[in-house]
Amino acid sequence: MAGGDRKRTRSASRSPSRSPPRQRKRPGAGTRLTAADREAARKRQEERDQEAAQAAQREAAQRGIHDAVKQHYNMVPERGREFRKTDSKIKGLRSFNNWIKSSTIQKFIGDERNLRILDIGCGKGGDLGKWQASRKVELYVGCDPADVSIKQAKDRYAEMQRKQRRLFHAEFYAKDCFGEWLGDIPIIKEVGIDPAAGPGNAMSQRWGGGGWDMVTMMFCMHYAFESEEKAKGMLRNVSGALKKGGRFIGCIPNSDMLTQRVIEHHKAKGTAPPEVNAADDEEDDRPTFASDDEDDWDPEKSLDSPKPNDSEHADDTIGKAEDTKKGKAKKDVEEDGEVEEEGFKFGNSIYSVRFPGKTPPDGTFRPPYGWKYFYFLEEAVEAPEYVVPWEAFRALAEDYNLELQYRKPFREVWEEQKDDPELGPLSERMGVRDRSTGRLLTTEEELDAADFYHTFCFYKV
Ligand SMILES: C[S@@+](CC[C@H](N)C(=O)[O-])C[C@H]1O[C@@H](n2cnc3c(N)ncnc32)[C@H](O)[C@@H]1O
């Protein structure tokens, strides 16, 4: 009796929240699983594994080349200023490109002070000194998905802080600026970024949205043209961040040059359409840059263009020929039955561009996204890049209230600015031009490599 009472008392005093004692598995329960049960469990596990792998694959495809580019830039060694200025085989080109960036900054920085600058694809912070030289900047924010580069940019800024008494405030963020919304970064939101920027938003267009004076994207925007989604994500960030009257500046590969090379390739192969050959009979043979009015975004002309050489050629191999509509760029079958390679390459001893697969026979990159090529530069990058068809980009930018002010191939920028009272002497200090003879220190091959690029400025309206 007493023992029974004690038991009740003990159980009654147990906290009601305490979980009931766990039921023990009956010994040997596992062994009663049949072979069929085990097979079914194995199948379920296999399906779960497969689903997980497919989900990972889908996610990777969505990230696109983003990770490859990020990994690539994270791995580019930091060789230091001394190497870049003395031992580099392309020091003339490095100086020339840097001078072009300085000159674009100077041309569009304007007269105001206390500017807020957003540098998209800031890399290792190589342009910090250029912005500091202007003495007009109050805030600089640099974003780039390559976290190692961002760390180097922070170090570079810390070094500048040690040496300079008056320096703008700067912050750096590891961020994919085409696939992600920059308004998630507190300081970007604080200064102002309009989430409604873009086509068909009258309210946003009237209000003007952002609080940034300039967005700069040096040698970076071409990665956004992997897909329509990324190009639009990039423009939403740029336009959203800019205040009315703000400037969007940058340097990118010139699609006119790529069009020219693609046409030459198809003519040599005999696959250029008749109108391209006919047009050429009337002109001289030298490559020319189309004027701003010329349209490389002509829906009528390009219905037969092959599809961009996108993900199917994501590897590093030259694509094999495939049938295309109406047989314009038909298979070239050699006598022994081998299919001829369809990609092509051009360049010189310091740079090269390689299209891995099909290219449009009339040189019109349409649709304007996903035209991949590989760019190789001595000591620098060999990375997949995407053609930025100029007129398509300009038309798209207009939908985001960005109006073109300026576009020039690098060599023309040099001709235009070399005798500017500030940029002329700067070119000597930067080692672009010889102080005593006035001669360009860039070799012809380096200038040839520089011809691949042009520089631009849009205004937010
Ligand atoms: C050739 S580097 C130029 C770096 C710097 N702007 C300069 O002029 O020295 C190209 C940069 O674009 C960056 N980039 C690539 N994809 C990007 C993205 N989705 N968002 C922002 N930057 C990106 C790369 O990480 C790399 O730092």
Which residue ranges make up each domain of the chain? Answer: 72-254+390-460, 256-386
Ligand 1, atom 9: closest residue by C-alpha: 126
Quick: pLDDT tens for 45-61.
877 767 766 666 556 55
pLDDT over 50 at 279, yes or no: yes
CA dist 121 and 214 (Å) reads 14
* pLDDT tier for residue 337 given thresholds of 50, 70 and 90: very low
* pLDDT tier for residue 275 given thresholds of 50, 70 and 90: confident
Quick: pLDDT tens for 214-223.
999 999 999 9
Q: Which residues line ligand 1 (CB under 6 A)?
A: 66, 69-70, 73, 120-123, 126-127, 144-146, 149, 176-178, 218-220, 223, 381
CA dist 369 and 388 (Å) reads 8
* pLDDT tier for residue 208 given thresholds of 50, 70 and 90: low
Is the distance from CB of 374 to CB of 384 less than 8 angstroms?
yes
- CA-nearest of 63, 250, 79 to 145 is 63
pLDDT over 60 at 89, yes or no: yes
Is 224 in a helix, a strand, or coil?
helix
Ligand 1, atom 1: closest residue by C-alpha: 219
Neighbours of 454 (CB within 10 A): 25
State the pairing for strand pair 137-144/169-174. parallel
* pLDDT tier for residue 268 given thresholds of 50, 70 and 90: very high
65 Cα: distance to centroid of ligand 1 (angstroms) = 13
405 Cα: distance to centroid of ligand 1 (angstroms) = 23
Q: Is 277 annotated as a binding residue?
A: no
- CA-nearest of 119, 216, 98, 208 to 456 is 216
- CA-nearest of 418, 428, 419 to 95 is 428
* pLDDT tier for residue 235 given thresholds of 50, 70 and 90: very high
| Residue 185, CB-side half-sphere exposure with 13 Å CA sphere | 23
Helices (H), 347-408: 390-399
Quick: pLDDT tens for 424-440.
999 999 999 999 999 99
What pLDDT score does 201 carry?
76
Low-confidence winner among 98-102, 200-204, 388-392 (lowest mean pLDDT): 200-204
* Nearest atom within ligand 1 for CA of residue 178: 19
Low-confidence winner among 22-36, 67-81, 143-157, 182-196 (lowest mean pLDDT): 22-36
What pLDDT score does 27 carry?
41
- CA-nearest of 384, 448, 385 to 411 is 448
Helices (H), 200-341: 202-207, 228-241, 255-269, 274-282
CA dist 369 and 228 (Å) reads 6
**For range 21-32, the mean pLDDT:** 46
For 312-347, the DSSP string reads GG-SSSPPBP---GGGTT---B-TTSPBPB--EEEE
pLDDT over 80 at 8, yes or no: no
* Tokens 């369809």 belong to residue: 342
What pLDDT score does 341 carry?
60
pLDDT over 60 at 29, yes or no: no
What pLDDT score does 7 carry?
39
Ligand 1, atom 14: closest residue by C-alpha: 121
The C-alpha angle with vertex 74 and arms to 71 and 77, in degrees rounded to 5, equals 130
User: Of 48 and 445, which is predicted with more confidence?
Assistant: 445
pLDDT over 70 at 16, yes or no: no
Is the distance from CB of 142 to CB of 116 less than 8 angstroms?
no
122 Cα: distance to centroid of ligand 1 (angstroms) = 6
**For range 75-103, the mean pLDDT:** 80
Paired with 216 in beta bridges are: 119, 249
* pLDDT tier for residue 285 given thresholds of 50, 70 and 90: very low
What pLDDT score does 47 carry?
78
Ligand 1, atom 16: closest residue by C-alpha: 223
**For range 338-359, the mean pLDDT:** 86
Paired with 373 in beta bridges are: 385
Give percent of the chain above pLDDT 90: 62
Q: Which residues of 220-237 are buried (b: 16+ CB within 10 A; e: fewer)?
A: bbbbbbbbeebbbbbbbb
* Nearest atom within ligand 1 for CA of residue 381: 1
Give how far Cα 57 sits from Cα of 54, 68, 102, 276, 308, Å: 5, 14, 42, 41, 21
Q: Is the peptide bond before 306 cis (omega within 30 degrees of 0)?
A: no
pLDDT over 80 at 297, yes or no: no
CATH topology of domain 72-254+390-460: Rossmann fold (3.40.50)
246 Cα: distance to centroid of ligand 1 (angstroms) = 21
Helices (H), 79-167: 80-82, 91-108, 128-134, 147-163
CA dist 235 and 213 (Å) reads 16
ipTM: 1.00
First-residue to last-residue Cα distance in the chain: 93
What pLDDT score does 338 carry?
45
User: Which of 223, 378, 379 has most ligand 1 atoms within 8 Å of CB, for mutation?
Assistant: 223
- CA-nearest of 344, 336, 338 to 319 is 344
Q: Is 98 annotated as a binding residue?
A: yes
pLDDT over 60 at 326, yes or no: no
* pLDDT tier for residue 323 given thresholds of 50, 70 and 90: very low
* pLDDT tier for residue 140 given thresholds of 50, 70 and 90: very high
pTM over 0.80: no
* Tokens 């308004």 belong to residue: 183
> From the CA atom positions of the chain, what is the Rg in Å?
29
351 Cα: distance to centroid of ligand 1 (angstroms) = 19
125 Cα: distance to centroid of ligand 1 (angstroms) = 10
Which element (helix H / strand E) includes 100?
helix 91-108
Give how far Cα 339 sits from Cα of 98, 240, 318, 325, 343, Å: 43, 48, 12, 18, 12
Low-confidence winner among 150-164, 171-185, 288-302, 341-355 (lowest mean pLDDT): 288-302
